[in-house]
Structure 1
Amino acid sequence: MHTVAEENLIATLTVAAPTARVFAVLADPTTHARIDGTGWVQDAVDRAPLTELGQIFRVDMYHPNHPDGHYRIANKVRVLDPPRAIGWLPGTENDEGHLEFGGWTWRYDLAPLGPSETEVTLTYDWSAVPQFIRDYLHFPPFGPEHLTNSLQHLAALATPTSRAGTPVRETPAERS
């Protein structure tokens, strides 16, 4: 299910996995390319798990309409409430390491529906994007189905068994 509000897209999906497992997948930047429903996210540059507010993690991107095709996004962790919520603010980083953020955010809210199910709500919010950015970028840059696709990819990654039926090894934190 997805909804379109005035300046955000919201999608919700029930995932057949414990909340801690879903959160662990989201907190791992190396999974973001497989979660992404557009195919724009390519690879994690910073591979450390997301563990603190203000943490910066970079990912390589590709979009055919971007002036460079391949580019890099620097994301700043804005919400971190394990295992209930995680979110970040995408931006860019210049050659001197100065970060600039465009004002749009990604946020995942997780609600346990029992020991092995989690309701995940994904919100893409562009309400804080300044007009000068809106003058050259169309918001949202994708349809609402992107969020639904992303949640389905997240569900596949977080499910305790692989597609082949082989159990996926859990970390000690996920077992508790």
Structure 2
Amino acid sequence: MDLTASASILVDAPASVIFDILADPHQHSRIDGSGQVQEIVDSPERLSEGARFSVAMRRGLPYRVTNTVVEFADDRLIAWKHRGAHVWRYELQPEGDRVRVTETWDGTAYPAVVRPFFRLLVLKDTRRALEETLVNLRAVAESDAVLRD
């Protein structure tokens, strides 16, 4: 049973501009499409493999998560996870003068017994949040790219 949600979008900005946004946790609230990211509580200025960052979140009630970067390739790939078994991943692929950004919520590491729960209660909202996040990321990255010129 597949337990992933994914969306992609073409962005008219250099991969370095897009990646700078993703690798800076302090910018995540600028692009968050879920409405849950409140503020960064603790993080390095720029993420790298193994880096940890803590985020104040809100989904009804406030909570806090600490994420660890588990995949990292500058200007191409960044992924993180917290105590849960799911991974948030961003992949950047050049397409002509633009960059395709794919965001994936990957819950394939969850045990089979909990997968139906996530499929019913999480994936629908997650897909919507991914799509909204990517629309926000495109707007922010394209704006930041103009400011850099």
CA distance in 1, matches of 2:128, 2:107: 17
Q: Is the 8 A contact 2:105 2:126 kept in 1?
A: no
Mapped contact 2:43–2:52 kept (Cα < 8 A): no
Say which one has the larger Rg: 1
Question: Which residue number corresponds to residue 88 of structure 1?
Answer: 80
The answer to which structure, 1 or 2, has the higher relative contact order (CA under 8 A, 6+ apart) is 2
Residues 2-81 of structure 1 mapped to structure 2, 5 A cutoff: 6-64=2-60, 69-81=61-73
Match of 1:117 in 2: 98
**Gaps in structure 2 of 5+ consecutive residues:** none
**Cα drift, residue 47 of structure 1:** 4.1
Amino acid of the structure 1 residue aligned with 2:92: L
* 2:127 is aligned with 1:144: yes
Counterparts of 2:43 and 2:74 in 1: how far apart (Å)?
A: 18
Partner of 2:87: 105
Structure 1 unaligned regions, length at least 5: 91-100
| Structure in which a larger fraction of residues adopt helix | 2
Distance 1:161 1:104, change over 3 A: closer
Q: 1:141 to 1:49 in 2, by over 3 A?
A: farther
Inter-partner Cα distance in structure 2 for 1:139 and 1:123? 13
Between the aligned partners of 2:30 and 2:111, the Cα distance in structure 1 is 30
Q: Tell me the C-alpha RMSD between the 2 structures.
A: 2.4
Does residue 154 of the first structure (1) align with residue 146 of the second (2)? Answer: no
Distance in 2 (CA, whole Å) between partners of 1:15 and 1:127 is 28
Separation of aligned partners in 1, 2:77 and 2:130: 16
> Aligned letter for 1:81?
A
The residue type equivalent to 1:142 in the other structure is: D
Q: How far 1:46 moved relative to its partner?
A: 2.2
TM-score, L = length of structure 1:
0.74
Is residue 126–residue 139 contact of structure 1 (8 Å, CA) maintained in 2? Answer: no
Match of 2:48, SS state, is coil
